[in-house]
Amino acid sequence: MKIFFLGEPLRNLGETFKYEGNLVNSIDVYQEVEKFLAALSCGKECQRMLIFIGEEHWKQTQLIRDFTVSQGIMARLFVNKPDSDLELRDNLIFSFNFGDGGFNRFLSNVEKQVRRLAGMSQFVRKLREDLIFFAFSDSTMFLTGETGTGKSMVAQIVHMISHRRSNRFLELNCANVPEDLLESELFGHVKGSFTGAYNNKKGLLEETNKGAILLDEIGEMPQHVQSKLLVAMDTGKFLPVGSNKEIKVDVRFYSATNQDPKQHMRSDLYHRLSELRIDMIPLRERRDDIPILVNNFLTNFGYAIKFEDFPSEVQRSFFGHNYSGNVRELRNIVTRFVEFSESPETKKEEKYDPNAFAKTELTERFVESMVDLYMARNEPLRDMMEKLHARLESEIVKRVLKSCSWKKEEAAKKLSVSRRTIDNMVKRYHLDRRNISQKK
C-alpha cells in the first residue's frame, strides 16, 4: 500500500509531515495533477493507494477517482476540508480537516486500529491492509470462520476506522434471542403489538441509524425475519412490529457465522449481505502468530515476561495445541498458565461453551423485559420462573438439535447431558423434527 499527497503540505497541514508510524514507509508528494497522474500510471504495480488531496485541487478529485478506477487501482481519496469531521462526499471520496494535526491523527488512528490484529503471518498482514479499504466503503461485509477467530473484533476495527466511527456500533447475536422476539429486537415494536409489549421500543436498526450493526450467527435468523431484513436493506425503510408508520434508517451491515451460510440463509439475503467477504482462518493455520498473541495477552494481564521466557517444552506445547476455540481459547490457556502453571497439553477441552449464547447488552435487555412482564402480571414469582425456565430450556434444546441436524448424541454432548435427558426434553416440550424443518 502506498500513500500519495497532492498539494502543498504546509498550506493544507499547517506544518510539515510529522507522521512517524509504521503504516507506510514513505509518503510521495506532488504539486501538479499532471505529474501526479503520470506517477500513478508508472506505479500501477502498487494496486492499493490512499490519496490525500489538498483543498487547492478539490475540483480534480472526481477526475482522479475515475482515473484510478479505469486503471484498476484500488484507491480511497481524502480531500482537505477545514473545520469538518471525516465524512463521505461521493463514491470512494471522503473529506476531513487535514490541519491542526488532523492528518497525523487520521493515520495514527488507522494504524492503532489495524494493530489490534496481532501477528505477522501473511494472512494477518494482508487482512490489516484489506480492513483499511473495507472501512472506507458502505458495502455490506460478511465474515466467516470458526468460533474464536476474531470476527467480531474485525467488524469493530472496520467501524472504528470508517467515516461512521462517531456513531453507534451494536452487535446482535441471532442465536441469543428467541425466534418470536428476534423481529422485535431488530425492528422494534409499538405498545400493545403482542402480549408483553407494554411500551414502545426502538429496534437495534433504529438505534444504530448512521452507524453500523453486526448480525452474528446470522444463519439462526428465522426465514420471515430474513425476508423483512432484505426489504429493509433494499429500501432503507421498515415497519416496527404492530406499526403502520415506516422508519427510515441509514445503517451499514456486517454479518458473521461459523456455519456454511448457503445452508442456513436465503440466497438473496446472503448475496445482499456479502458484497465484501472475509474468511477468518483458524489459529492452527497461522501458528507463527502464537508468540505475538501470547505476548499481547501477557502485556494486557500486566506481566513483564515474554513467550520467549517460557521453558522450551512449554513453548512447544503452545505450538502443538489444536486450538479448537482459536484465539479465545489461547487467551484462556495463557491465563491458566500464568495463574496455575497449566500448559496447553494439560488443558481439558470444554464440551460446551455457554458464552456462545451470551452478549451483555442483549442479556440486560432480556432481563429488563422479563421484569416488566412480571410486574404487569398478578401471579406468584415461583410460577412465572417455572414457565420462564421451561420456555428457555425448550428454545435452547430446539436450537441445539437444529444445529446438530437432529443428532441427539451430538446435542447431548453439547449440552453436557445424557441422551435420555434429551429424549425426555423432546417429549416434554413436544419437539418435532418435521415441524422445525418446515420453519426453515
Give residue-wise pLDDT tens across range 205-235. 999 999 999 999 999 999 999 999 999 999 9
Find residue 326's DSSP bridge partners: none
Question: Does residue 185 register a pLDDT over 90?
Answer: yes
CATH assignment at residue 337:
1.10.8.60
Average pLDDT for 171-186? 91
Average pLDDT for 284-304? 95
Q: Furthest-apart CA pair in the chain: how many Å? A: 80
Per the domain annotation, does 74 fall within a domain?
Answer: yes
Average pLDDT for 6-10? 91
Average pLDDT for 330-350? 78
Same domain flag for 27 and 79: yes
Question: Does residue 321 register a pLDDT over 80?
Answer: yes
Domain of 127 in residue numbering reads as 122-279
Same domain flag for 39 and 142: no
- Pairing outcome for strands 141-144 and 276-279: parallel
Helix axis angle for 122-135 and 102-114, nearest 10°, is 140
Average pLDDT for 372-377? 70
Same domain flag for 272 and 318: no
CATH assignment at residue 139:
3.40.50.300
Question: Does residue 131 register a pLDDT over 70?
Answer: yes
pLDDT of residue 194: 85
Per-residue buried b or exposed e for 228-243, using 16+ beta carbons within 10 Å of the residue's own CB: bbbebbeeeebbbbeb
pLDDT of residue 263: 83
- CA quadruple 315, 317, 322, 328: dihedral, nearest 10: -60
Nearest to 184 by CA among 217, 155, 218, 224: 224
- Pairing outcome for strands 74-80 and 48-53: parallel
Per the domain annotation, does 168 fall within a domain?
Answer: yes
Same domain flag for 266 and 130: yes
Same domain flag for 243 and 313: no
Per the domain annotation, does 239 fall within a domain?
Answer: yes
Q: Which of these three, 230, 254, 279, is where a domain ends?
A: 279
Residue pair 87/106 in contact by the 8 Å Cβ criterion: no
Q: How confident is the model at residue 347 (pLDDT cuts 50, 70, 90)?
A: very low
Same domain flag for 204 and 235: yes
Question: Does residue 354 register a pLDDT over 50?
Answer: no
Same domain flag for 337 and 244: no
Q: Which of these three, 228, 249, 279, is where a domain ends?
A: 279
Full 3-state SS string of 297-348: HHHHHCCCCCHHHCCHHHHHHHHHCCCCCHHHHHHHHHHHHHHHCCCHHHCC
- CA quadruple 95, 85, 154, 124: dihedral, nearest 10: 50
Q: Which of these three, 114, 130, 163, is where a domain ends?
A: 114
Backbone angles phi, psi at 163, to 5 degrees: -75, -5
Residue pair 225/183 in contact by the 8 Å Cβ criterion: yes
pLDDT of residue 342: 85
Among residues of the chain, what percentage have pLDDT more than 90? 63
pLDDT of residue 364: 67
How far apart are alpha carbons 141 and 261 in whole angstroms?
13
How far apart are alpha carbons 332 and 317 in whole angstroms?
15
Question: Does residue 93 register a pLDDT over 70?
Answer: yes
Question: Does residue 339 register a pLDDT over 50?
Answer: yes
Per the domain annotation, does 192 fall within a domain?
Answer: yes
Per the domain annotation, does 220 fall within a domain?
Answer: yes
C-alpha triplet 406, 357, 390: angle, nearest 5°? 65
C-alpha triplet 59, 60, 66: angle, nearest 5°? 130
pLDDT of residue 4: 93
pLDDT of residue 436: 53
Q: What is the per-residue pLDDT across 47-88, written as a single tens digit (0 to 9) for each?
A: 789 999 999 999 999 999 999 999 889 999 999 999 889 999
Same domain flag for 215 and 300: no
Same domain flag for 82 and 222: no
pLDDT of residue 351: 45
Among residues of the chain, what percentage have pLDDT more than 70? 91
List CB contacts of 154: < 8 A, sequence separation 6 or more.
117, 127, 131, 143, 278, 280
Same domain flag for 142 and 182: yes
pLDDT of residue 265: 92
How far CA 374 is from CA of 76, 196, 222, 386, in Å, comes to: 53, 9, 27, 12
- Give the residue carrying C-alpha cell 506517477: 39
Question: Does residue 361 register a pLDDT over 80?
Answer: no
Query: How are the residues of the chain apportioned to helix, strand and coil, as percentages rounded to the nearest 5?
Result: 50, 15, 35
Question: Does residue 141 register a pLDDT over 90?
Answer: yes
Per the domain annotation, does 372 fall within a domain?
Answer: no
Q: Which three cell numbers stand for residue 317?
A: 506445547
292 vs 44, which has greater pLDDT? 292
Question: Does residue 190 register a pLDDT over 60?
Answer: yes
Per the domain annotation, does 373 fall within a domain?
Answer: no
Average pLDDT for 77-105? 93
pLDDT of residue 350: 45
Same domain flag for 413 and 334: no
Average pLDDT for 315-333? 94
pLDDT of residue 264: 83
Per the domain annotation, does 39 fall within a domain?
Answer: yes
CATH assignment at residue 423:
1.10.10
Nearest to 182 by CA among 243, 229, 145, 252: 229
Same domain flag for 156 and 229: yes
Query: What is the total count of domains within the chain?
Result: 4
The mean of the pLDDT values for the chain is: 88
